Structure formats: structure tokens, C-alpha cells
Amino acid sequence: MFDILVRMPDGNGVKMQCHVPPIWAECFKPTPGVYQAKIDKHDVRLFFQTQGRPEYNKDGTIKKPGKVKELWVKFSFE
């Protein structure tokens, strides 16, 4: 688990912690930047897109690109 500082629309900074669902091994640690987010009761959910591993042909060319997953990662207030 780790902390992030979320800059709210009014300019205030709020420390939050990532909480992983049981199916994930670890939290996604966002790089500094602007993210699409939504407030859900007592937590904030940040939108991430991740790309899986591509499939390769025997000659090393890409057969299929990695599947893009869209995730809403939950961060709760300390």
C-alpha cells in the first residue's frame, strides 16, 4: 500500500491510499499527471488504461496487440 496526494478541483491537496480488490496483486501507482476521476461516497476512483502483452509470430512480428483494459482504481481518504 502507498499514499498519493490528490489535488482537488478547489486546489486543496488530500492524502489518499490505494485499496486493491482481492483479484489484484498490487496497487497501481500513478505517475504525476491529470487523470479522469470520480468521487464515490468516501473514496475517489481514478481511471487507468493498461495494455497487456502482445502475441508474437515466430518471426518476432506482432500477431495481436495486447488487450487494453480500462480500470477504475479506488483511493480512500486517510
Q: What integer pLDDT is reported at residue 24 of this predicted model?
A: 55
Tens of pLDDT, residue by residue over 31-68, are 777 778 888 777 788 887 777 889 999 999 999 988 88
| Domain locations in the chain as residue ranges | 3-77
What is the DSSP code string of 7-48?
E-TTS-EEEEEE---TT-SS---PPSS---EEEETTEEEEEE
Residue 25, pLDDT score: 52
Q: What grid cell was written down for 5?
A: 496526494
Rounded-to-integer distance, Cα 35 and Cα 64, Å: 28
pLDDT at 59: 93
Output the pTM of the full model. Answer: 0.55
